[in-house]
Amino acid sequence: MVSPYAFDVPGGVQFHVRDLAEHLLSRGHDVRVLAPSDENDDLPPYVDSAGRAVPVPYNGSVARLLFGPVTAARVNRWIDRGGFDVLHVHEPFSPSLSMLAMMAADGAVVGTFHSSTMRSRALLTIMPLLEPQLEKLSGRIAVSREALRTIHRHEGAADAVIIPNGVYVDRFASAPLTPHWQGSPERPTLAFLGRLEEPRKGLAVLLDAMPHLLDAVPGLRLFVAGPGDPREALRGMSDRVRAATEFLGLVSEQDKSSLLRSVDAYVAPNTGAESFGIILVEAMSAGVPVVASDLPSFADVLDQGRAGALFRTADPASLAQTVLGLLAEPGRRSALAAAGAIRARDYDWSRVSSDVMDVYETCRAANPGAVQTISASRGRRVMRGRS
């Protein structure tokens, strides 16, 4: 598998690659992952570093990518050494390792498309050059309907199967409760996880809703987990909002699971450019009711509001009204949590990885030889001709 983004930086694609690799390894498959990373980073034993990435603004965020002729040579050597049955590239549209691997490889190549983007001028510019490379993909996977729409925007009617991101549901469902994060009727607790400096994650929308929430429930507490500067996030906020908001910084996977299990509700106020919403599934797995903006991708995960509550995107008043409605109705809150826990089972890795394996086997049947670079494949054909 090839990750386009730095493996030492937290992110949805990186977590997806990591968890899929580890699940396949646990089932007895041989897996190697190529990813950007500092050579000195403590990487898992199945990950090979392709070199240090460079931060680049990409798709409403800052992605750490790696590109160029030196990197291309490293990718080629990695492919030819591997003798892989299947090469699985993530985010083939991104100008990084996955694009280089897709362009170089010959054989059973699978591409997973994670992003939800509008028509990109940069992609439209290079698409005539990229289209012949994309046609080499033996199989295409989109993690959501929004990701599938992105494929269609840039590739026309290209076929792809929708296979969502996966979650180890039981890890969240069995996480220990943490008393400090637990709420009470007088002091309910909310949680938000995401990068503080990314506007599309919507923390500003949630903080703008806090005065409405505190007017109705003065004891309410908000826990914010994720990298970024709390002082910048709270700029312009009132003293009571500051007092009600606790910043936890970047939390471990164990603490994330415990936080989600402990709070009264998880709030996802994201404003756009979200193709899936893995944090929603993690919260549902933990048994906490989810309150989310009504982005199409979030509505799909929450079964159009049957497995979680939706509010109008980027509308603090709508967010506050929805949260207060849930806090006032414990029965509805419990019903949504139960529905979400059932819905989360659709995204467990045991099911998701089986669907991915079906794609691998189909592509392998159509391309039975080992994956190699195009130059290596041509060399073999020349040698056969001479013999």
Please report the DSSP string for 282-325 in residue order: HHHHTT--EEEE--HHHHHHTGGGTSSEEE-TT-HHHHHHHHHH
DSSP for residue 82: H
Residues 56, 77: contact at Cβ < 8 Å?
no
Averaged pLDDT, 306-317: 98
> Both 197 and 274 in a single domain?
yes
> What are the beta bridge partners of residue 56?
63
- Strands (DSSP E) contained in 28-73 are 33-35, 47-49, 54-58, 61-65
> Both 150 and 221 in a single domain?
no
Residue 85 has pLDDT above 80, yes or no: yes
> Is residue 266 classed as helix, strand or coil in its secondary structure?
strand
The span from the CA of 354 to the CA of 357, in Å, is 5
Position 235 in a domain: yes
Percent of the chain with pLDDT over 90: 70
pLDDT for res 136: 85
Mean per-residue pLDDT over the chain, rounded: 89
Residues 311, 319: contact at Cβ < 8 Å?
yes
pLDDT for res 159: 82
> Both 131 and 67 in a single domain?
yes
Position 7 in a domain: no
Residues 212, 320: contact at Cβ < 8 Å?
yes
The span from the CA of 361 to the CA of 177, in Å, is 41
Residue 50 has pLDDT above 90, yes or no: no
pLDDT for res 383: 43
Angle 158-344-190 from CA coordinates, rounded to 5°: 115
Averaged pLDDT, 71-78: 91
> Both 182 and 248 in a single domain?
yes
Residue 256 has pLDDT above 90, yes or no: yes
For the chain, first and last CA: distance in Å? Answer: 34
pLDDT for res 135: 84
Residue 71 has pLDDT above 60, yes or no: yes
> Both 20 and 162 in a single domain?
yes
pLDDT for res 56: 61
Residue 359 has pLDDT above 90, yes or no: yes
Helices marked H in 27-134: 69-82, 97-104, 121-134
Position 4 in a domain: no
- Burial status of residue 257 (CB atoms within 10 A of its CB: 0-12, 13-18, 19 or more): buried
Residue 237 has pLDDT above 60, yes or no: yes
Tell me which of 192 and 69 has the higher pLDDT: 192
Residue 24, both tokens:
């396949």
Residue 3, both tokens:
């990750």
Residue 302, both tokens:
């929450």
Averaged pLDDT, 361-379: 85
Position 367 in a domain: yes
Q: 375 falls in which pLDDT band (50, 70, 90)? A: confident
pLDDT for res 382: 43
**Model pLDDT for residues 143-159, shown as the tens digit of each residue:** 998 888 878 876 665 68
Calculate the alpha carbon distances from 181 to 196, 283, 329, 350, 381 in Å: 20, 14, 20, 30, 63
**Model pLDDT for residues 3-19, shown as the tens digit of each residue:** 988 887 778 899 999 99
Averaged pLDDT, 215-227: 97
Q: 128 falls in which pLDDT band (50, 70, 90)? A: low
Residues 64, 56: contact at Cβ < 8 Å?
yes
Position 358 in a domain: yes
Residue 36 has pLDDT above 80, yes or no: yes
pLDDT for res 333: 95
Q: Computed from CA positions of residues 183, 189, 193, 196, in that sequence, does the dihedral angle turn out positive or negative? A: negative
> Both 227 and 370 in a single domain?
no
> Both 131 and 202 in a single domain?
no
Residue 278, both tokens:
């893995």
Which region, left, alpha or beta, applies to residue 277 given φ > 0 means left and ψ of -120 to 50 means alpha? Answer: left
The span from the CA of 341 to the CA of 332, in Å, is 14
Residue 296 has pLDDT above 80, yes or no: yes
Q: Residue 355 sits in which domain range? A: 12-166+349-386
> What are the beta bridge partners of residue 33?
47
Averaged pLDDT, 19-24: 96
Residues 200, 232: contact at Cβ < 8 Å?
no
* CATH code, domain with 266: 3.40.50.2000
Residues 115, 275: contact at Cβ < 8 Å?
yes
Structural domain count of the chain: 2
> Both 269 and 355 in a single domain?
no
Averaged pLDDT, 56-77: 72
Residue 191, both tokens:
């949680």
Residue 278 has pLDDT above 60, yes or no: yes
Mean pLDDT is lowest, of 64-68, 272-276, 342-346, for 64-68
Helices and strands (DSSP H and E) totals, the chain = 16, 16
Mean pLDDT is lowest, of 123-127, 187-191, 250-254, 331-335, for 123-127
Give the Cβ contact number of residue 344 at 10 Å: 23
pLDDT for res 72: 87
pLDDT for res 8: 78
